[in-house]
Structure formats: C-alpha cells, structure tokens
Amino acid sequence: MKTTIDKAGRLVIPKDIRRESGIKPGMPLDVRWENGTIAIAPTPLPVKLERKGRLLVAVPTKDTPRLSADTVERTRKRLRRERSAGST
C-alpha cells in the first residue's frame, strides 16, 4: 500500500493496516528510525507484575479500556499462526 505525507508531516495509515494492527484514533504510537526504515508501533502499556496464586500476571498501572472480543480473537489467531510457523 502507498500513502503520502502532507506539508504538516501527517501520515495517513491505510484502513486495512490500522484494522489489522489494532490502531485506533487517539492511540499513542511510538515512531522510530530503525536500520533505514520508519517503524510505527502502539506504545506499550505500562504494567506491573503481581502474583496471582502460582501465576505472575501483568496488571496495567493505569485504567485502560477493555479489549474487544474481535481484538482478542485476532490476537489469538495471530499467536497461533506464529507458534505453528516457529515449530516447523
């Protein structure tokens, strides 16, 4: 996909990429220069680790909106694909 940057330096990320990556309006993003490429990624959520029984669980340090069922399902499928690709 191609896009352009306007005179103010704004870049429009195509809808398909925003949907697939889970980027929403107002979401904070990290922008980096990496090996000759501009990398854009959602800013990691700050968490603290808490013990819940025998498990160590990452808990957000600030209030966050609940994940949609669509986001959870998309993430689950992506992780399953990545794990199955790594085992071959």
Mean of pLDDT values over 57-76: 88
Same domain, 9 and 38: yes
Same domain, 85 and 66: yes
Same domain, 83 and 51: yes
- Give the residue numbers spanning the domain of 72: 45-88
3-state secondary structure of 71: helix
Structure tokens at 76: 């689950």
Which pLDDT does position 88 carry in this prediction? 59
* Distance of alpha carbon 82 from alpha carbon 76, whole angstroms: 10
pLDDT in tens, 14-58: 999 988 888 888 889 999 999 999 999 888 889 999 999 999 999
Tokens 């689950």 belong to: 76
Same domain, 38 and 67: no
Same domain, 25 and 5: yes
* Distance of alpha carbon 50 from alpha carbon 61, whole angstroms: 11
Which pLDDT does position 31 carry in this prediction? 94
Tell me which H or E stretch contains 83. helix 69-86
Q: What is the pTM of this model?
A: 0.54
At 80, the pLDDT band (50, 70, 90 cuts) reads very high
Same domain, 54 and 64: yes
